[in-house]
Amino acid sequence: VGCSGDDADDVTLVEGRVEKVDAIDNTFRPESIEVPAGTEVEWTNVGRSSHDVLPVDEDDWGAPAGSFEPDDVYRHRFVEPGTYAYYCSLHGTTTHGMVGTVVVTK
């Protein structure tokens, strides 16, 4: 579930940092990452199947079905501390199967 920190004004954003996640058929690797606020996360579909990257809490980020085909790349910059759970609706549910988590720290 996405959430923001208690005092977002105390957050120092990093610039130019990219953390990579691969969407492999039926799994995200790594499944969970921890990054400082301001980090851009880059998902690459290195599998043979279509995928999507959907936030569990329906935030305004993610790659919908049909826009994340093999070899496609999706990027999102996380600026607020919190825990952001996501999943592929084609190969899992919000809690099982192809799921992942981005933990954003101050």
For the stretch 39-68, pLDDT in tens is 999 999 999 999 999 999 989 999 999 999
Report d(CA 43, CA 62) in Å as an integer: 10
pLDDT recorded at residue 8: 53
CB atoms under 10 Å from CB of 32, counted, come to 13
Window from 11-15, 17-21, 51-55, 56-60 with minimum mean pLDDT: 11-15
Q: From 5, 17, 28, select the one nearest 77 (Cα to Cα).
A: 17
DSSP state for residue 66 in the 8-state scheme: T
Report d(CA 17, CA 23) in Å as an integer: 20
